[in-house]
Structure 1
Amino acid sequence: MGRTNDSMLTEFLLVGLSAHPKLQTVFFALVLWMYLMILLGNGILISVIIYDSHLHTPMYFFLCNLSFLDICYTSSSVPLILDSFLTVRKRVSFSGCMMQMFLSFALGATECVLLGMMALDRYVAICYPLRYPAIMRKGAYVPMAAGSWVSGLVDSVVQTSLAMQLPFCANNVINHFVCEILAILKLACADIAINVISMAVSNLVVLVIPLLVISISYIFIIATILRIPSTEGKRKAFSTCSAHSTVVIIFYGTIFFMYAKPKSKSSVGPVNQDVVEALISLLYGVMTPMLNPLIYSLRNKDVKTAVKTMLGRKNSDGV
């Protein structure tokens, strides 16, 4: 089924939550709503940042990249997720599955590195406020953002290329609703030691190193904030970093749970395992991109003022 001979796989079958039709209906409505909120929230945030010249700063440049990244990331997987909820077994071609896996992995890795770059930006802004304009000039923050995208793409090229070379001899059924790399590696009928080593190196480069950068940056940030004499100054500084730190905790926490935890053939039943993986994937793939614009804008006076200004001008133009 789904192959032309014993060595060439032509398609995968995405099972997802097909054994739980009631859950599929709930998840379909929930994921669709969240996806629309992602498009709306991140789209508004990007528009506001581009529209308001006062927001043309390194911090908002990185935030604009993050919002665009979240839209691209969810768009690479959510349509397939929604489609898998509507069919008992979703058939996906081998090339289509690899392409979706490549895009999701690349964009996820990019976001890891980008969050590290954003931490460096906050470190310079708080620890060296007078030198901030000179250090975080356009010649610095644009390459930092571009480097995040390039590193994610390169990492994904390596992981996807190695996965595509594996033979899939017996089983083409993916117990997931997207082409997720760990789920695909489980189907290989050859030694995946190279893939495991490559994934470990990838975890080190795009997970551990950026997280170390973030942690060290925040150690210096907190130490600097504690030395600020005024309570108002401390509150303002903490407020500046609270959004980024919240996003980091949610994003990295979920990724480490998915990719860094040991994989074991435990006694957890298949029903419970499906539900758990669905919830984790939902949190990782949809929840964080939906929360990002809310986290960054609700407590940001500059963004709220820019939104009101933009909407006010549009209303006045329409009169």
Structure 2
Amino acid sequence: MSAPFPFSAIVGQDEMKSALLIAAVDARIGGVMVFGDRGTGKSTAVRALAALLPPIRLVAGSGFNADPDDRGRYACDPVAATGKAVTGAVPFIDLPLGATEDRVVGAMDLEAALTRGEKRFEPGLLARAHRGFLYIDEVNLLDDHLVDLLLDVAASGENVVEREGLSVRHPARFVLVGSGNPEEGELRPQLLDRFGLSVEVRTPGVLAERVEILKRCDAFERTPAEFAAHWHKADAKVLKRIARAKAGLSGIVVPDAVLELASRLCMAVGADGLRGELTLMRAGRALAALEAVGTVAPVHIARVAPMALRHRLRRNVLDETGSTSRIARAVEEVIGG
């Protein structure tokens, strides 16, 4: 298996990389939706981040990526109770557009039922993505009921299956990343709103960036091991930032004044519900943790505001400047430069 493209070697796309790092620090944010052109490094960035993270402890043979320190939560997996603890890579699951609901959530193991008369649960893609990343390319073309289901599980951290005489409940904590091109179909607003962060990626318009991308892609294709070794030190720094941020996340202080700014900002842009404010708070805290500061400041809220709010704005037919520009104006008015 070839080495993955190094996360630090990705040219540009800073907002997408920041959103992925924030989601990796705090999975409760609810995943990342990436809109943009084809061939702009969306899946490459997600795979690179998953490969960058340190190995996790698993139960050997478990179809649920069971945590050896939490065996009691995997009642539907007999292997979890007695299997040997090993280490393995952080899971990265690519969900195909044609996937059925049974393949996604899991279903009865028909072979065991027909040959041995056993009622066993066959884990689905949600179980395989547990403790890792679930990536959906062209999520706007996926059936709405599947998107709704995925978002429910991503938010709750648990998959519940009630069908065919089965009643199964198992952990399913993962970072959900969806990508799509708006020109090929839009995601319903009520589903889009449930993604924690939304970012926009575009084909680079700077000649020097395009040339640098060509050079790095060519070097990676010709000598992937050497290319990865060259970027190892930079990736190690990113890994240290993530580990330090996750360890210190619970100690980050969010002052009342910053919470008030987040609420005023959501009111200023007309965001429905409270998901926007919750995401601003959590993303601001994760960003502060990544920067190794103990308190969330207004600047952190200003920096995560476009990612947290652009997909939550009501459409204003009298304002065609775009959601990002509307948020920038609101940030200037509420928080200042």
- Give the TM-score normalised by the residue count of structure 1: 0.23
User: With CA pairs under 8 Å and 6+ residues apart, which has the higher RCO, 1 or 2?
Assistant: 1
Kindly indicate which of the two structures has a greater share of residues assigned to helix: 1
Kindly indicate which of the two structures has a greater share of residues assigned to strand: 2
